[in-house]
Amino acid sequence: MKDKVTESILPETVIKQKKKKALDKEDMLYFFFKVFAVIIIAIVLLRSIYGIEFVEGQNMYPSIKDGDVVVYFRINSQYQNNEVISFRKDVSNYIGRIVAQAGDIVEITEDGDLIVNGNVQQEEIYFDTYPDNASGITFPYVVDDGCVFVLGDYRTNAVDSRHFGQVSLKEINGKVISIIRRRGF
């Protein structure tokens, strides 16, 4: 009698174990599908909403240094003065601070003062702002519609609107929202 009971239980146990193995495979496939979906969503977000840029050079020293990584927000249609942006000019990407908007009159004196619309700008920038006389940009400079005037924080050594003029809103990659210090990794 015991043999009949054992024989009838044995096939049920084997069937349950086979079903469990099949479920484990399905669970693993489902897990990998979820991971794949999360990776795809992250890539889409990073490519369409956010951007990442590795900073080269000292244009924004000391706030952003050579070797830092910046994260910028792409979906922005209006920018304010004093915001740090990533923008593309010719074939290079730059990081800079907006100092004037469309219609503003920018003057840079030989004494190192930045004047916007007749007001001397009181900034927390360590370096004086001097014009670049060799660039061909003349002051006072009127910023056109759909453009901004951008300066780097390292004013004595930065490549910015003093060299190549105003930056079109179409050339702006996005507003910098985070800085990651990657030196020393």
- The band of 183, judged by pLDDT with boundaries at 50, 70 and 90, is low
Q: What is the mean pLDDT of the chain?
A: 82
Within 10 angstroms of residue 177's Cβ, the number of other Cβ atoms is 13
Concatenated DSSP letters for 11-66?
HHHHHHHHHHHHHHHHHHHHHHHHHHHHHHHHHHHHHHTEEEEE--SSTTTTTS-T
Q: Quick one: average pLDDT of 114-133?
A: 79
Whether residue 181 has pLDDT greater than 90: no
Measuring CA to CA, which residue among 97, 92, 91 is closest to residue 59? 97
- In sequence order, what are the beta bridge partners of 50? 73
Q: Quick one: average pLDDT of 157-169?
A: 87
pLDDT digits (tens, 9 = 90+) for 60-105: 888 888 888 888 998 877 899 889 999 998 888 899 999 999 999 9
- In sequence order, what are the beta bridge partners of 148? 167
